[in-house]
Structure 1
Amino acid sequence: MRTCSHTVIIGGGLAATTLVEEVRKHGVDDAISIVSDEIHLPYDRPPLSKRALREDPADIGEYALRPAEWAEQMRVDFMLGSPAMGWDPSSRLVHLSGGRQVHFDRLIVATGAQARVLEAAPPGGQVHYLRNWSDVQALHQCLADNPGGRLLIVGAGFIGLEVASSMLERDIEVVEIVEAGPRPLSRVLPDALAELCWRPYQDARIPLSTGTALSGIETTPRGVTATLSDGRRIDCELVVVAAGSVPNTAWAAGLEYGPDGAIVCDGSGRSSVDGVWALGDAAAWPNPYVDTIRRIEHWQAAIDQAAVVAADLAGAGAESWGSAPYFWSDLLGGRVQLVGEAPATATTHTATRGERTVTVIRRGDTVAGVFARRRPRAMIAGRALLGSDMSALEAQAWCDRTVGVPHQPGKKREFDVQAS
């Protein structure tokens, strides 16, 4: 077994905690330090735009990834509130805030991503971004200070739609959702699935402006006035910006980066510099189910990649990330799930029964992904379909069986839409 004297993990989220546990399972007994810019021990981030936003502010302990005694059990040294500011690969040092330094023999970059900040909407006051626990607390405080306030959401991706759903459950008026792209979820789903996800919001009469950007924010005595690229001005009390994310990697100059700033890795998570690995939202890995090397911002991806990196650190033999990406989101209309990929040019075949929906996503005649709403069992069977050849009629028949509707060969359903 290969060992090292000191493994330093930069980043204190799901990827970091899972990596520690996997390394210890392999019997590696070396010193491990987790360096995090957070002042909190690792906590679960997906609920931030869901349960943590719907409910009144609670103790962050409710969202803790691991119990308080975990660090002692895993023999991990935490360095909290210590953002990485730079590094020196030759001397194996990471420079932290306040002039501190930490030496490493193996370095793992698990810094995740940060919210993409719009120049037209600097955070603070009535303008909020949602990426960490402090963001949730600030938004809750703003809601308390502005009872009955109206909310403008900038961005109609998954985070923007999750925020809208959470706010509606709190009876907070969403005055409008502004999206710079051509439609909601335009960067992540083909037209047919984006339409399916958006329909409950349309039924709830939430105004939507697509192809529209935010031009500026002006503070007023009652709140803010947002100016849009189409010239309109919207008065509201709160603004939540959900315009995507960027990897937290600027401090680690000298590594190979992708176009979005993610650290490019091989199938084991190794970067372009020897002794440095990267995983999670900060990294771009190859995956047999995805057609390009890019970062996969999914909870499950962080877990799966951590297991691969841990095996490599322990010298347990060659291994690569071969599991299918998996994602879920809680939207109006129910939980949606996706296994595999949903390319914009895909052909989709969908069956619906009541609130249940299942879709086979095909690239040519090959199954690229399976999507479901309120049908979690479809994910189990859907994984087995990935990469298989399936005709349009076979895909439609499988969808019919999975939601439990009589199959009528050749009948074109409402959402059987081919992308142009």
Structure 2
Amino acid sequence: MEQTYLIIGGGQAGGRAAETLRQQGVTGRVVIVGDESCPPYERPPLSKEVLTAPGDDTCFNGWLHEAVFYEQAAIEQREDRVTRLDTARQIAYLASGEALRYDKCLIATGGRARTLSDIAPGERVLSLRTLADAMRLRKLLKRSRTVAVIGGGFLGLEFAASARARGLDVTVLEAAPRLLGKAMPAAFSQRLEAKHRANGVNLALNAGPISVEQNETGVTVSAGVDAATFDFCVLAVGQVPNDDVARASGIEVNNGIVVDECCRTSAPNVFAAGDCANFPFGKNGGRIRLESWQNAQDQAIAAARSMLGDTSMYRPTPWFWTDQYDWNVQMIGLHDETVDQWVTRDTAADKQVLIGLRDRVIVYALALNQGGEIRALRRLVEQSIPIHPDQLSDMRVKLRQLERSAT
């Protein structure tokens, strides 16, 4: 009897999982149910190329594959929404009223833009999460002169850089005392702040409480006693996991859908991957939910293989990147308070490597316009062996040499 593999969510993770199932030889039905009317795509271009590319409003190069790929691979795509699963009978109930039986199910529903309770979304107060969001913002950028960005994280800063490239006056309001405080060390955060100021962005740190009033012609944004008027406002205050279908189905959730190292949920034959999945991480019994291109890709592949019986454990080395102006910043590992020593390599105006150590073991690294160093840094993080800080700071010693000497 033909088996049905149901994938809930038509984003990057869902698309990669479907592709992997076919690559692994699955001959049964592969069905993607998602609430967008387009094929699966990657999200990084939404805050960059989609907003800044010249030409008409049809520009987008983030598709995993063109639509014909899914036809040729016999991957069904449904524009619908799964409301709940009957995990005992293995039936998915769709918003359209259809009931779809499955043999294996993957929840890859990603996340949705976080909102603020006292700031109502509207035509001039928008978030950026989907391709449709990006296209709306692209049109606003083309006809506006000023914009306020609430949130100084990766998304907010990438949008700010794109808006400056379009010639808009940009103000970023961040409640914390510095940009990206949880993602990078203070020294580089300050350097990034200076980069944005040098490119004409108005930065308001320690901003708050923030309120927004909108009308037909613009928005008034207040931060404490200060208020200013803008053509529109972008909320970039993070995201929350789309775990509603798991909650409605009695599947364990805790800051996302709880899975084991093989991407299995608390329900039989139900798996989860991507931004919505909370999985075991580290050596001390911790858990994490990663929001990144890498995790959406790699965990989806791991989950698809797990659906087919592979018991390999998903143990990623986190990798993030951001492009802002002429800077490419890549990070390996997680920045946290356990770093007890920092080592700096190359402090040129547009290049730098920062390495975070704990007991002389590399746990985090940041590379500015040094993409060629990332592969060696990743392997050094994965090897988790002590390295003398003097070796790391000595520019005569190549990181690749340290990698080879450690093997």
2:330 paired with 1:337: yes
User: Which residue of the other structure, out of 8, 21, 24, is the alignment partner of 1:23?
Assistant: 21
* Partners of 1:155 and 1:243 within 8 A in 2: yes
**Per the alignment, do residues 382 and 27 of structure 1 end up closer, same or farther by CA in structure 2, a change over 3 Å counting?**
same
Aligned pairs for 1:19-98 (under 5 A) are 19-56=17-54, 57-59=56-58, 62-80=61-79, 82-98=80-96
Q: 1: distance between equivalents of 2:125 and 2:359?
A: 44
Does the aligned pair in 2 maintain the 1:20–1:74 contact within 8 Å?
A: no
Taking structure 2 as the reference length, what is the TM-score of the superposition?
0.90
Q: What's the secondary structure of 1:293's corresponding residue?
A: strand
Q: Distance in 1 between matches of 2:135 and 2:396?
A: 42
Aligned equivalent of 1:358: 353
> Which residue of the partner structure matches residue 243 of structure 1?
237
Give the alignment partner of residue 324 of structure 1, picking from 317, 329, 332. Answer: 317
Select which of 289, 294, 301 maps to 2:295.
Answer: 301
What is the identity percentage for the equivalent residue pairs of Structure 1 and Structure 2? 29
Long gaps (5+) in structure 1: 404-420
Residue correspondence of structure 1 range 118-129 to structure 2 within 5 A: 118-129=116-127
The answer to whether residue 180 in structure 2 is matched with residue 181 in structure 1 is: no
CA distance in 2, matches of 1:95, 1:339: 40
- Decide whether the 8 Å contact of 1:192 with 1:348 is kept in 2: no
- Flag the 1:291–1:90 CA change in 2: closer, same or farther, 3 A: closer
Counterpart in 2 of 1:314?
308
- Structure 2, unaligned stretches of length 5 or more? 401-407
Instruction: Give deviations 1:210-258, integer Å, cap 9, x for gaps.
Output: 2223532212464111122x22112111101100000111222122222
* Structure 2 residue aligned with 1:370: 365
- The one-letter code of the counterpart of 1:200 is K
- 1:273-310 superposed Cα distances (whole Å, 9 cap, x missing partner): 11110000010122448983111111111222122222
- Structure 1 pair 221–323 and aligned structure 2 pair: CA distance change class (3 A): closer
Q: For residues 114 and 400 of structure 1, do their structure 2 counterparts lie closer, same or farther at Cα, with a shift above 3 Å needed?
A: farther
Q: Distance in 1 between matches of 2:368 and 2:282?
A: 25
Cα distance change on mapping 1:61 and 1:376 into 2, 3 Å: closer
The aligned residue for residue 279 of structure 1 is: 273
Q: What aligned pairs does 1:214-253 form with structure 2 within 5 A after superposition?
A: 214-220=209-215, 222-228=217-223, 230-253=224-247
Task: Give the match for residue 418 of structure 1.
Answer: none
Task: Supply the AA of the counterpart residue of 2:289.
Answer: R
Equivalent residues of 1:105, 1:275 under 8 A apart: yes
Q: Distance in 2 between matches of 1:119 and 1:400?
A: 52
Structure 1 segments, 4+ long, off by >6 Å, are none
Look up the match of 1:411: none
2:115 corresponding residue in structure 1: 117
8 Å CA contact 2:261–2:314 kept in 1: the answer is: yes
- 2:94 & 2:216 partners in 1: Cα distance? 40
Supply the distance in 2 between the matched residues of 1:221 and 1:75 (Cα, whole angstroms): 47
The one-letter code matched in structure 2 to 1:313 is M
> CA separation in 1, counterparts of 2:63 and 2:288?
28
1:39 aligned counterpart, secondary structure: coil
* Residue 138 of structure 1: aligned partner: 136
Of the structure 1 ranges 7-16 and 179-188, higher mean CA displacement relative to structure 2 is found in 179-188
Query: 1:367 & 1:289 partners in 2: Cα distance?
Result: 15
Tell me, what secondary structure is at the counterpart of 1:305?
A: helix
How large is the Cα RMSD of the aligned pairs?
2.3
* Alignment: residue pair count: 393
